[in-house]
Amino acid sequence: MVGDVDLLATISRQAGLIDTLVAQVSAQQTVNDLTTALQCRAQQNGFDASIRLPTQGANDWEHFVMNDTHFLIVANNYDGSVYDTNSELFKWDGTTFTSAQLILTHGARDWVHFEINDVHYLAVANYKNGDGDQAINSEVFAWDGHKFESFQLIPTVGARGLADFVIEDVGYLAIANHDNVTSVNLNSEVFRWNGTAFEAFQTIPTKGAIALEYFMIGGTHFLGVANHNNGATYEVKSEVLQWDGTKFTSSQ
């Protein structure tokens, strides 16, 4: 059984048909039977219209707009027997979401969408494969005009979270590495766009990291790290890193 997960994505439509999307993964179903309810708000006082989409151990939704069309991609983590399973991209057809593409992932935990030089990309955090190996590649996909194709493999270890951001017109992708079976005290990593692909830029010591959040305050760039545990205790400090002009340094 899986635990309750509430995943919220906000989407806006010019026609005003959809304001909010909520995905609820039910703990009352087995992974193989899992469906996700998407509830579209038609009134201010509640959710009424419901769309149900099949998922498998869903961990995350990512919403994005491409060529004036809304898309949702789900991170399917586990199908009840293996972690090597397809995550699924859905496309809004004006009335509902329909399947647009299946993408093989490995214990997928998180998706992010971003654009570089007018090209649309999706990145997935792969946690583990069917053999239980966590030292596997996460992956970046690029839109070819018809579908997302594999663009770049990025070495990760038990990847759990992603953050994409731009600093001084340069794109970055940060990945939270959670564990490698024997230890949770690992380096998470920031990758920088070099004009053609992402390259390793900075390692950040983390403790069972499960999420990253980029934000700005008054023109200053920050990266927050959610540390889950250090192998001995869950009472560990998470950290906010600050950009010093060349790299992220410990801030708080």
How many Cβ atoms from other residues are within 10 Å of residue 167's Cβ?
Answer: 14
The single residue listed with the structure tokens 């270890």 is: 157
Distance CA 212, CA 201 (A): 16
Q: What pTM value is reported for the model?
A: 0.85
At residue 46, the pLDDT reads 63
Let me know: does 18 contact 32? Beta carbons within 8 Å.
no
Let me know: does 137 contact 153? Beta carbons within 8 Å.
yes
The single residue listed with the structure tokens 């060529």 is: 67
Ranges in the chain, pLDDT < 70 = 1-49, 252
At residue 41, the pLDDT reads 46
Distance CA 71, CA 81 (A): 28
At residue 49, the pLDDT reads 59
At residue 16, the pLDDT reads 37
How many Cβ atoms from other residues are within 10 Å of residue 204's Cβ?
Answer: 23
At residue 189, the pLDDT reads 98
At residue 251, the pLDDT reads 77
At residue 47, the pLDDT reads 59
Let me know: does 100 contact 90? Beta carbons within 8 Å.
yes
At residue 215, the pLDDT reads 98
At residue 50, the pLDDT reads 81
At residue 1, the pLDDT reads 33
| Plot region of 181 (φ>0 → left; ψ -120 to 50 → alpha; else → beta) | left
At residue 181, the pLDDT reads 86
